[in-house]
């Protein structure tokens, strides 16, 4: 989604997507809290690994 937003001509949306990416790089969660995008889409309400 962010990649599509970065190609959008809406400057505010492009700026927001840049901030989200920068923030995600700064405060990335610990490895045990991460979930892949495909895992999240397949099981959106599943408990996070390590927190069952």
Determine the structural domain holding residue 13 and report its residue range: 2-42
Residue 50 located in a structural domain:
no
* Per-residue pLDDT, 7: 63
Residue 47 located in a structural domain:
no
* Per-residue pLDDT, 42: 83
Our measurement of the distance from residue 31's CA atom to the centroid of its chain's CA atoms, rounded to an integer in Å, reads: 14
Are 33 and 42 contacting, i.e. CB atoms less than 8 angstroms apart?
Answer: no
Identify the three-state secondary structure at position 6: helix
* Per-residue pLDDT, 30: 72
Cα–Cα distance between 21 and 2 in angstroms, integer? Answer: 8
Cα–Cα distance between 45 and 52 in angstroms, integer? Answer: 12
Is the pLDDT at 13 greater than 70, yes or no?
Answer: yes
* Per-residue pLDDT, 48: 63
Residue 29 located in a structural domain:
yes
Residues 6+ positions from 27 with CB-CB distance below 8 Å: none
Structural domains in the chain (count): 1
Is the pLDDT at 18 greater than 80, yes or no?
Answer: yes
Per-residue model confidence as pLDDT tens digits over 21-50: 888 888 877 776 677 777 877 887 777 665
């Amino acid at each position: 989604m962010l990649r599509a937003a970065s190609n959008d001509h809406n400057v505010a949306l492009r700026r927001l997507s840049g901030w989200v990416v920068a923030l995600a790089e700064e405060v990335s969660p610990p490895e045990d809290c991460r979930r892949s995008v495909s895992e999240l889409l397949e099981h959106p309400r599943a408990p996070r690994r390590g927190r069952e």
